[in-house]
Amino acid sequence: MFEQILLAVDGSGRSREMMNMLLALPSMQRSQLNVLHVIPNSINSEAIIEYRIAAEKIIDREVKSLRLNSDNTTVSILKEGEPKDVVCKVAEDLKPNLMIMGSRGMGRLQAILANSVSQYVFQLADAPMLLVKDDVYIKTIRSVMVSVDGTASSLNCLDLAIQLVSGAKDVEIFLVRVVKRKEDANASTDPVLAEASAKLKRMNIPSRSFISSGDVGKEICKLADESNTSLLMIGSPDRRPSIARSLPDLDRLLGGSVSDYVRVNATVPVLLTRTIE
């Protein structure tokens, strides 16, 4: 299922901490972990040898700190270049089932001005991307919240969540649905929640349903916080024409997309998936 994972590390240990929580899940038992560290172009040429030695130590420390299972394998990847471009290129070559990266949790315009690696990579990469902000506490995976709205992107996100928790004991999927009108916020009669809940029941995956009304991004973040969920998953539709999929989508970066709001404001790690519609 998760045969190839790209784990981008910067020495802080945040990505690796998240990876260790995921390694406890049966779906990760046979994964190959590709541990990537990038030496930025901005490093002075006179200091590059010293920096490379330090970078090799970072990767070595990160790999040794992984709680590997007997069937897990690791590959250390040390590259030089512009970090955002290098991560995209490695992801393109590996075609991982999942990418894990740290994130500073900056807002849209701030992320662009600061040349945010994680935001840039998510705009260009096809693989699901798990973002771990510096100020987020990483928990043992006991619940995975999935935002559902009946679209192809949310259905794809739910399928990935099912793959992630398949075979795991004591892990629930929380289904969250946000509607426009308060009078429609009834979990027992909502068809989208009913369909998703029935799917999980057929697969013997325990679940709970949450419904709210109002601003979608704000309500998702609020419910994730109140339910003490371990991981939040949300699907992001990719409506760019195929000719533009190799270019950053500045309209989406500057716009008010739900996935972007959740990425910045959620108090838990966020796994973003992209579906071409």
Amino acid 227: pLDDT: 96
Query: Per-residue pLDDT for 242 more than 60?
Result: no
Distance from the Cα of residue 219 to its chain's centroid = 19
Span of 103-107, 133-137, 252-256 with lowest mean pLDDT: 252-256
- Characterize 57-69 residue by residue with b for buried, 16 or more Cβ atoms within 10 angstroms of its Cβ, and e for exposed: ebbeebbeebebe
Amino acid 104: pLDDT: 60
CA neighbours within 13 Å on the CB side: how many for 234? 25
Say which residue, 46 or 155, is predicted with more confidence: 155
| Element holding 275 (H helix, E strand) | strand 270-276
For the stretch 59-71, pLDDT in tens is 999 999 999 999 9
- Kindly indicate the confidence band of residue 254, based on its pLDDT and cuts at 50, 70 and 90: very low
Computed over every residue of the chain, the mean pLDDT equals: 87
Amino acid at 183: E
**CA separation, residue 178 to residues 92, 150, 172, 232, 277 (Å):** 34, 11, 19, 15, 21
**CA separation, residue 79 to residues 9, 42, 89, 118 (Å):** 12, 13, 11, 17
Amino acid 111: pLDDT: 41
CA neighbours within 13 Å on the CB side: how many for 26? 9
Are 31 and 5 within 8 A, CB to CB?
A: yes
Task: Give CA–CA dist 131/151, Å, rounded.
Answer: 22
CA neighbours within 13 Å on the CB side: how many for 145? 27
Mean pLDDT of 170-180: 96
Say which residue, 84 or 159, is predicted with more confidence: 159
Mean pLDDT of 129-133: 92
